[in-house]
Amino acid sequence: MKNIKWPDFKGLKNLTNRLKQTIIGLCAFLALFTICNFLHIQNADNYKPSPLLKNLHKEEKQLEPEELFKETWALVKSSYFDDELNEQNWARWKKHYLHKIKTEEDAYIAINTMLASLNDPYSRFLSKNEFEEQNTTIDSKIYGIGVNIVSVSGKIRVMSVIKGAPADAAGLRAGDMILKINGNEVSGDNLIQASNYIKGSLNSIVEVEILRENKKIIKKVRRAEIKIKTVESEIIDKKIGYIRITSFISSNTPVEFIDALNKLRDTEALILDLRGNTGGLFQNAVFVANMFLNSGEIVRVIGRDGKGGAYNAENKEYIYDKPLVVLVDGESASASEIVSSALKDNKRALIVGTKTYGKGVVQKIYSMPNNTGLNLTIARYLTPNGEDINKKGIEPNYSIEITRDDFEKNNDSQLNFAKNILQNELKRSTIAEK
């Protein structure tokens, strides 16, 4: 194993900026990869928008409701990744709502109805409040109650409670089964929807109905700002390091990731945990994948015209080249899938867990008139092996389920399997050296 040259913190800012500039220069699609509400334009330090993004800065522009509809209609017609717009005559929407939109609410209804016809869950219009709320998460600000939830046997359970968070103060505990959120029944088949129910505006109240020891309990919890550290790390035995990336949404994720790698520099192998990570900033995914690859393609983006741009690993001095296993599950989506597929297809890591979510399309967020916004699918992406994973997901090298029995016994069978793989790999290396 060759010596690893680690970037120190003195040079970290230059390292981060250099990688961001490389990513910006590779392709015109400066977009975010994520799922549901986690779609944002990157606004990290030293970010320079491409010419395609010049029209994004319209916050001061105010239009009459019908004109807002027309502008949205035109933008979708010209920029949506499917030029057939789900095999429909797009002009029909303009004709249908002609002279019928009088109020802001009318415009929102018309735009959302029009977007629904695309049959694309990732393209959505954002009201002023929704747009403001969405943009806070780029700084890792989420208004919620401070719980991590997981799907177990079709039920949603609290996996952990952040110490000192509102959920902690309200008495929610790990293992509680969530039945309803604000009166809405939830199930493990739609974990992301449940997460969205929990999030909301600052200081608002969320009512959570739980089942604990066969008793139904209702907890009313006041939402607060939850400051998120997106990267966690520890040494799980003397030789194996563990890094969990909970989200790629924060502009601080690259710094936190380098910090975690430095803390584990004396370990001989690594487990990278992307379970439950629904995505985030595109450049963060490329950054993380790049730290494990010295060459090869990371991801390829295909635009409306069928033309694509490849994001390749940099040939660099700093690289983590020790044995690596990546953990994934059904909630690992978007940016998590970019990292997983890059490492799998380049045969850099083994993937353990369950099939990933399957989000292989790219959104760009447009800042629209009247302080509103539009998340619009503008491209799709392919893995290094040329696979389109959208609605399919990534199959792990080793499919390992966490059962209800595992959960109740606090047994992480996926983590244990990954650890065994690395322990055996290290044993083989030791024997080979002798």
Q: Which two tokens stand for residue 356?
A: 């990933």
Q: How many CB atoms lie within 10 A of CB 399?
A: 12
Cβ–Cβ < 8 Å for 318, 6? yes
Is-catalytic flag, 359?
A: yes
Is-catalytic flag, 259?
A: no
Host H or E run for residue 258: helix 253-263
CA distance 311 to 298: 6
Is-catalytic flag, 83?
A: no
Read out DSSP for 297-325? EEEEEEETTS-EEEEE----S----S-EE
CA distance 95 to 188: 41
In the set 247, 251, 332, 334, the catalytic residue is 334
In the set 20, 322, 344, 359, the catalytic residue is 359
Question: Which residue type sits at 59?
Answer: E
Q: Which two tokens stand for residue 215?
A: 């008793």
Cβ–Cβ < 8 Å for 262, 254? no
In the set 345, 364, 367, 419, the catalytic residue is 345
CA distance 172 to 193: 20
CA distance 50 to 368: 18
Catalytic positions: 334, 345, 359
